[in-house]
Chain A
């Protein structure tokens, strides 16, 4: 189990390397130096917490540029950021150390919101590639939203993901991709005037 876990998380982190930009890669390298043992490649938890540590360090550094107290001697704008930054760094460091000491992360299936142990889910393995492609697709969707407009861009995203995830029901995928964005657009824009981008289609 342990070996499988380590292998899979390694696989995961290689996948993620593609996703991250150069800057992130640098951060990750630092993270590895900070948190990674030589024998075991760093787990998701170690990498994530290390990135967090770097971000929080920047945060705290900026907090020290803000005033601790105002000229009148009251709590200044830097008071809370400093407390938050300090506490964040301490907690992250603690979590990193405790994770390393146990060598393996205490990853149990967790509930959706609270971080409490949740209902057991059937084990279907891990699918980092599917996840990565969906995230990238969603990114492209968001970037094209204002250019192509809500309807076109949503339809393209749905068409792409549905055809790919649900290969057996091509017709259903096409129908949903065309109807659903139009329906949402009519509801939000035409009926409620809530402000969706028209884009390239001449819509009412």
Chain B
């Protein structure tokens, strides 16, 4: 922290990055979204051959959109289409590009977790939007100019925390890029410089705590006051969030975003396990996963269809993200009118799989495993077939100090898993620290049924 005495004053005086937009009544917000949607679809239709082709084939023009209801008639796009269009000119983005190629100033790409990476073109204006979206996130999570922020990530072709870096600078924080340092060096640098905040995937945040402990440093001694997580749902999973908060002795916040979409949602200081959608810049619709019927009521999960407003180089209009979300049943006490999602991103429509006839979301297993304090942070789930029957194995590690309680721990774990997921598991206990560790996004769920 740069100046600890300033923080309290700052927090009390100002709460919103943009008090006009963040407190706009919902009906006004909807009018604003409609105006922005019209402008965004017109831009895409006029400048992107991909979108023009898509809309012409569907028999729709921007002028046909006369109300928010009409938006549902606009064809959706999905990741496969974004990959396919990259085969066309101009290289390497394809004709979805809505600006001349010489206007593109930044290249990013998706991580490729679900297939061929999607290339993302950004203009200067687009990049300004990225840092603006992130400024809303960081401000809502209490970042101020008094913060010294460490960024322990690889500064590479993935969007990751690039925009967080620029947003933190925009807010006035002092930003320390922890690029090519290894985990030990990052911990030492954070301690040396008395950093007050950092950002990483939940997996890496836990891994850093483990490394610090091995180095003889209690993470709590470093003085971190807040951590912002991204890339995985962990910070919205109660048991994982609790683990991180206990290890680091600070508040942990979630944020959600994607390369193709932008940084569209964030947790604020008032509503843990909930995410605000930044409705000034994004339009989120929830659809029933089977029927496609719109879902407006709270507590009913569906998949997210999202539009980003005013992105120039590569517009993102009604993108089927496959993220599973549900509306919360209340407004946030923070005073923002932006709607809340209960539990953040609950899972992905293409991750939820049937095992022994039961629908299983990997995040449900994480919640149980991370809720058993005697287990380490790592685990792995492997689904195979034995003959015609699904078989599910959970690999875990027991912390050395609890080895003597192994039978009791396994019994409790099996019961909790049964309650939470309605499934029985083969549980394998592996030596402490033998399961794979991950620096960025973890791959803990492996469905091998198609290959066995």
Do A and B originate from a single complex?
A: no
